[in-house]
Structure formats: C-alpha cells, structure tokens
Amino acid sequence: MPNWGSAIVVAEPAHTAARLARYLAPKPHLGWRIEEEPVVPMLVVLSAGAVLGVVGRGVGALAEGVVDGFSAAEAWLAFDAMVVLAVASAYGLTARYGIRFPQGGIDGLTDAVRVIVVQGNAAWRALPSTVRKQHRPTVRAMNSAARLLLVDSSDQHSKAMLSQHVQTLRDLATRV
C-alpha cells in the first residue's frame, strides 16, 4: 500500500488534524496522466464509488437494524456525506499546511531538501511551548523558503535561509 503522506511535509505551526490529513488526501496524479490513458482514472473513480456505495449500504443496513425508526437510506446518505466531508477537509488541510515534494524532485531539488524541512519542523515541535511561541516566525520563514525552492530550485538566497533557520531550530531543540 502506498504511503500517501510520504512526500508531504506538514508546515508548522499546524493543527494536529493536518498531520493526519496528509494521509487521507491521496496524490492527485498517482503516477499516470489522464490524457494518455483515460480508462485508468475512470476505473479508479468508479471503483471508489462502488466501494463507497457498498460500505455505505452496509452501514445503512446496520443502522436500520440497531436503531428503531432509522431508515437505511438516511444512514447510507449520512455515511457517504461524512466520507466526502472528511476527504474534502483532508485536501483543505493539506493544501493549507502541507508542502508537497514531488517524487524524484524537480530541477535538481532532491530529497535532501525535504529531509531538512522535516528536521526543522520536528525540531520546532520538540521545543517547549513558550520557546515555540517565540520562534513561530523562524519556522514560518523556514517553510516559506522551502516553498520558494519548490518554485525555483536555483534560488541560492532561499537555500541559505532554509539552512540558517533549520540550524537555529536544531540548536534550540538540542539545547532545551
């Protein structure tokens, strides 16, 4: 099973739900292009719809049997609405708090940058809350530099700022 969230780094400060949402929001391309083989994406969507329908029908039948006066159709609809809301919320949280690093990198951007960003965010989470509050601008600047590097991997200023901010957060995390 693929790890949906492996290429997504949660940019701190983020809600706890954002860390979980990166696994619920699947990758939009999944390695194939719609123009090349439209059958594959259609099969994926139809299969997901069929699974959602079968599971929703099962939840509806279970709810109808357990709760008096509750119809299977209402439970089925409620279940499907909750699943759609959860996936839509996951996409929203991932778009807001996630930095998506494409597999294989772009224009020389390697996994090393992703690892550095993960280390910086982990170092920030390791800080006590009082120190965290003081260094919110540092972690935000670090994540902004990472986003800028995704746009232009040759930006030396962003690389220098990213390294500087990560080193600051590492030093703080190991000292506290």
Instruction: Give the span between the Cα atoms of 132 and 158, in whole angstroms.
Output: 22
pTM above 0.75, yes or no: no
Which residues, other chains included, contact 170 with Cβ-Cβ below 8 Å and sequence gap of 6+? 119, 120, 123
Tens digits of pLDDT across the chain (176 residues): 345 556 677 778 887 888 778 777 766 555 545 556 667 767 877 888 888 888 888 888 888 888 877 788 888 888 888 888 888 888 888 888 877 777 666 655 667 788 888 888 889 888 998 988 999 999 999 989 988 888 887 888 988 999 999 999 999 998 86
Amino acid at position 145, single letter = A
Would you state the structure tokens that stand for residue 104, as one six-digit string?
């294989």
Q: Would you list the domain boundaries of the chain?
A: 1-100, 103-176
